[in-house]
Homo-oligomer: A and B are copies of this chain.
């Protein structure tokens, strides 16, 4: 089965397709001067774009792994998440706290989707 890679940079591919599954790299907000809800919304827009590159979309999400920098802001992340996910097509999810790439980075999301 072939492997298709998209948006490859020096250290990763942002999207990898294989065997009917689309894997998206961990994404963070480009503008991390804003709060948790806004950063999450930015991340989800980026994920939409990466899913589209592989010919799929958020209605086909399989799994999500969410790292947040501060559990007290989980509800703010969830607001953006709930605005984004497609009713009836929710992926599995786990959300834990981790220190992310910069002190200002509040959320990083990894997803997989069916194609």
Contact = CB atoms under 8 A, between A and B. Distances in A.
Given A3-B62, A19-B20, A96 B98 contact: yes
Question: In the assembly, how many copies of this chain are there?
Answer: 3
Contact of A11 (B3, B14, B67, B90): B90
A13 interface: yes
Instruction: Report the 5 A-B pairs with minimum CB-CB distance, sorted nearest first.
Output: A26-B94, A97-B99, A12-B93, A25-B92, A96-B98
Interface of A: 1, 3, 5, 8-16, 18-21, 23-26, 60, 62-65, 67, 71, 74, 78, 81-82, 85, 88-101, 108, 110, 114
Given A12-B90, A23-B92, A98-B98, 15 more contacts: A3-B114, A13-B92, A16-B62, A16-B91, A16-B92, A19-B20, A23-B62, A25-B93, A26-B92, A65-B110, A94-B108, A94-B110, A96-B98, A96-B100, A97-B98
